[in-house]
Structure 1
C-alpha cells in the first residue's frame, strides 16, 4: 500500500454528507469544503445542482454513480495527483451508506491518496437514535432484495446476535416488505418505521408488524416517502431451544458450516440462521 508523505502536493478527496431533508442540517464545514474544492462528484448532477444553487456553490460537478464509479476512480486519482481537491456527495445524507463511492475510496486508499470525511446527516443513525429500539448493537443491511422469495430468505437468516436490524425501503415495496416480515416472524418482533426524516411529514411508527401494517393499509398517505425500517429481534432462550442445544453439541466436534447444516437437517430450522448463530457461538 502506498502512503502519502507530509510534503506530498497531491490533493484531498472529501466525503461530504448533505442534508436528508431539512436544509438547516447542512454543516458550515460541508458548505465551505464544497465551495473550496476544484470538483464535486455527485450521484445525480441534476439533483445536486439544485442544492448547490440554493447555497450559491458553483464548483464544477461531474457524475459518479453505480454504473461508472469503477471507471471514475482512476480519473479522480489523476485529478488528485495534479493537486486538485475533489469532494463526493450523494443525493442525500452520507455517501457510501447504500450509495456509490466504495470502489473509488478503496482505489484511492490503495494508491495512497488522502481521503477525508466531512460528517453530517445519515438516515440510518437519524432513524435509529429516535426509534425507541435497542441501539447498543445493530446491523445495517442496506436495501433488501426486490423479490419476495429472496426477501423472505434474508429475513429468515436473521438471528438475535445481529441486534436491531436496520434497512431502507421504498414507497412501492413497503407494504409487501411488511407482509413478508409478518410471514417470516409474525408478531415476535418489534418494529419501528421512520418516514420522511427531517422533512415536513416526518413520522415514526412503532409496534408489532401487524399493527404497523394495519396503519399503512388504513392510511395510504403513510406509504408515501422514503423509509427506514428497524426490527428488534426476539431474544433466544438457549435452554429452551432444541436447535441451539444440538448446534452447541455439534460445534464441539465439527466445523461451523458442517455443524449448522447437520443441525438444520435434524431440527428443520433454517440453515442460514443456524450458521450465523454458530459463528456467534464461536466468537463467544
Structure 2
C-alpha cells in the first residue's frame, strides 16, 4: 500500500545482486511438492505481507525463486524481505518515476516477478503500468492471490461489504478532491480508501463535512502487526480520536448514504421544486414560506427555500414579521 504520488525513498539501484545469509533455513518444508510453473516469458505480480512476514504464501516463494529478477518500488525494502526469505535475486527498481523503462526490463528479464512495498501489486501503485507494458509486448501475466489491506479493513469495519467501492488515495486538494468526496457522500455502498498518517485527520474532517459528521466509519492501521488497531464510530468521533497523530499504513472505511439520508435529500429537492413553481406563478416570499410551513417544514427552513426560489436577498423588504 504505497502512495504513488510520493515515490520511494531509496536510491535508483538497478539489477543489484543481493547477498544472502548462509545457513538460513528453507521456508518451504522439505517434503512439500514443488509448484509447477509455466515455461517461457512471463510476468508475475506477487503479493507481499502488509505487516506480518508469515503472510507470505508458498506459491509466492516458488515464483520469487523461479524469476530471473524481482522488480520492485524500493530495492532496500524488497532486498530486506528477500534476505529474510533466503532468496537471492537481481533487483530492478520500477516505481512511478522509472516505469517508463519497463519494456527494456521485460526484454532483459523475460521471467519477471514484480512486488510493491506491501500488499498486492497493481492496487494504488505502478504495478498496473507494468501489466500494460507486458500486455503490449504479448507477455503472459499472472497475479498471485495474497495479502492486501483494503479487504481486511472492510471486514473489520463491521459495515456492509456485499457492495463497496475502493477509492485508493484521494487527490490532495482542488476540484478533483471535492468531486471524489461528493461521490463518496452520495453513493449507497460502502467506500474504502487509503490515507497517509499525516493527512488522516484532515481527510476525516473533509469526509465529515461532505457526508455529515454522524456518518458511520472505521479506521484500520498497522494490519497484522503488533499494534494493529481498528477504531469504529462516526466521522466526527474518528477525527477527534486521531487528532493527536498516528503511524502506520491506514485504510478508512465509510458507510454508504442511508435510506433516511436519501429520503431527506429527496424531500428537500421536492420542496425547492414546489417553491420554485409557486414563485413562477407570482407568489411572494411570505406566501411561499407559509405554504411550505403548512407542508411540515420548519419556519426557518421554509423561509430560506422561499428566498432561494424567488431569488430574493434577505433584507428589510423580505424580513419575516
- After TM superposition, the score normalised by the length of structure 2 is 0.67
Q: Which residue of 1 aligns with 2:131?
A: 105
What SS is found at the alignment partner of 2:165?
strand
Structure 1: distance between partners of 2:251 and 2:144: 23
Structure 1: distance between partners of 2:185 and 2:235: 17
1:229 CA drift (Å): 0.2
Q: Which residue of 1 aligns with 2:231?
A: 205
| Contact 2:106-2:112 within 8 A present in 1 as well | no
1:118-169 deviation line (CA, Å, top 9, x unaligned): 1110011121122101101111111012127653442123355461111101
| Contact 2:188-2:257 within 8 A present in 1 as well | no
Q: Which residue of 1 aligns with 2:258?
A: 235
Q: Which residue of 2 aligns with 1:216?
A: 242
| Contact 2:48-2:119 within 8 A present in 1 as well | yes
1:77 CA drift (Å): 3.3
Structure 2: distance between partners of 1:58 and 1:14: 17
Q: Which residue of 2 aligns with 1:32?
A: 62
Q: Which residue of 1 aligns with 2:5?
A: none
| Contact 1:20-1:121 within 8 A present in 2 as well | yes
Distance 1:245 1:9, change over 3 A: farther
Structure 2: distance between partners of 1:206 and 1:239: 25
Q: Which residue of 2 aligns with 1:20?
A: 50
| Contact 2:217-2:235 within 8 A present in 1 as well | yes
Residue 64 of structure 1: which of 94, 97, 122 is its match?
Answer: 94
| Contact 1:10-1:113 within 8 A present in 2 as well | no
Structure 2: distance between partners of 1:103 and 1:151: 23
Which of 1 and 2 has greater Rg?
2
Structure 1: distance between partners of 2:39 and 2:235: 55
Q: Which residue of 2 aligns with 1:141?
A: 167
1:242 CA drift (Å): 4.7
What SS is found at the alignment partner of 1:225?
coil
Residue 165 of structure 1: which of 169, 181, 191 is its match?
Answer: 191
Structure 1: distance between partners of 2:48 and 2:231: 25
Structure 1: distance between partners of 2:97 and 2:52: 29
1:225 CA drift (Å): 1.6
| Contact 2:214-2:236 within 8 A present in 1 as well | no
Structure 2: distance between partners of 1:242 and 1:162: 17
Distance 1:9 1:53, change over 3 A: closer
What SS is found at the alignment partner of 1:130?
helix
Distance 1:15 1:242, change over 3 A: same
Structure 1: distance between partners of 2:39 and 2:84: 32
Q: Which residue of 1 aligns with 2:202?
A: 176
Q: Which residue of 2 aligns with 1:281?
A: none
Equivalent pairs counted in the alignment come to 233
What SS is found at the alignment partner of 2:198?
coil
Distance 1:235 1:160, change over 3 A: farther
CA RMSD of aligned residues (A): 2.4
Gaps of 5+ in 1: 1-7, 247-267, 269-284
Structure 2 residue 86 is matched with structure 1 residue 86: no
1:88-130 deviation line (CA, Å, top 9, x unaligned): 0001010010011212211212332111111110011121122
1:205 CA drift (Å): 0.7
4+ aligned runs moved over 6 Å, structure 1: 243-246
